[in-house]
Amino acid sequence: MVVASYNSALTVRQTLSSILSSSFPSDQYEVIVVDDGSTDDTVGIIRDFPIRLFACEHRGHGPARNLGIREAKGDIICFTDSDIIVPDDWLKKISTYFTKNPGVSVICGPLIPPIHGHVNKIQQLTGETYFEAQNFPTRPTRIETLAWTTRLTSANSAYRREALASVGGFPEFKTIKANDMYLMWSLLEKGKCVMFLPDLKVVHFWFPWALGGVFKQQFLWGRDRSMLTAAFNSMHSVHLENSLKNWILYTPLGLVRSFIKLPLNPNTKQFLSCFQIMSFVVGRLYGLGCEFRFAESK
């Protein structure tokens, strides 16, 4: 399995400890960590663990994950992030499912928030609102449409090597961070079978705990949504729905709903939800400007 890490000194120890506590036989899997040019003590912490460590210049998670793919020895390659805790039966579930379903190329599952251990109320609510907003399927579901949903994420996914090879691995964008979304769209365009399994759960335990961090997170997600759509549509024969049309139709409605429910207490989930939507909108608008400049340069 492959873990890409960047400046994750606060979280990577918990991630690797959970991976190496797996009930899956230790001689049947390997752990590869690719450090993407961290400037904190991430590498020093990683060296405490019996894993294969590789380092590269800071170019983003796409190149780091592709380095991990090249170094991996197995035919099934799993991915998680350096702020995730995986259950001890995670690898067993992945191995069993692929063995029983030879026609499936990719599997993925939900990211659930932690029950305790939060820095403060904002971090707790950020995790809860993220999980609720994803509306993850509650039964095994084949992903078949090129829509903007976080069904397949690098934090909880596993691929047959041939599926990754068929699309050239992860895209290596310099500025766009949501490369797992682009990879999912590319796999669907190729006709690969991608299955979402609600029982394949991992815990995403590190969310922003201040409004500045929440804004940055949502702004980047909004920006990447516009830019990623433009990039995919310019390079593929199957196009995603027009991003500007969707934004005009749905974002104002989400803001209205949030404002109607907005109470005075700034620590409530409704306030945070409204703040997230507004932050996402700002990033969306910025990304749309980048999208138009991208199109004009073609």
Per-residue pLDDT reduced to its tens digit, 9-20: 999 999 999 999
What average pLDDT does range 152-171 have in this prediction? 93
Give the CA radius of gyration of the chain. Answer: 19
What average pLDDT does range 67-84 have in this prediction? 95
Q: Which residues of 17-35 are buried (b: 16+ CB within 10 A; e: fewer)?
A: ebbeebebeeeebebbbbb
Return the domain boundaries, the chain: 2-204, 211-296
Q: Which residues of 205-231 are buried (b: 16+ CB within 10 A; e: fewer)?
A: bbbbbebeebbebbbbbbbbbbbbbbb
225-270: per-residue pLDDT in tens? 878 877 777 666 555 554 555 555 555 665 565 555 555 455 577 7
Count other Cβ atoms within 10 Å, centred on residue 271.
19
| Contact in structure between 274 and 255 (CB atoms under 8 Å) | yes
47-70: per-residue pLDDT in tens? 999 999 999 888 888 899 999 999
List the structure tokens of 141: 């579901």
- The CATH architecture annotation of domain 2-204 reads Alpha-Beta Complex (3.90)
What local confidence, expressed as pLDDT, does residue 208 receive?
79
| Contact in structure between 15 and 44 (CB atoms under 8 Å) | no
Instruction: Give the residues across from 111 on adjacent strands.
Output: 202
| Contact in structure between 102 and 220 (CB atoms under 8 Å) | no
What 3-state class would DSSP assign to 119?
Answer: coil
116-135: per-residue pLDDT in tens? 878 788 888 888 888 877 78
What local confidence, expressed as pLDDT, does residue 237 receive?
57
| Contact in structure between 137 and 86 (CB atoms under 8 Å) | no
List the structure tokens of 239: 């196009």
Q: DSSP character for 28?
A: G
**78-92, 150-164, 202-216, 267-281: range with highest mean pLDDT:** 78-92
pTM comes to: 0.84
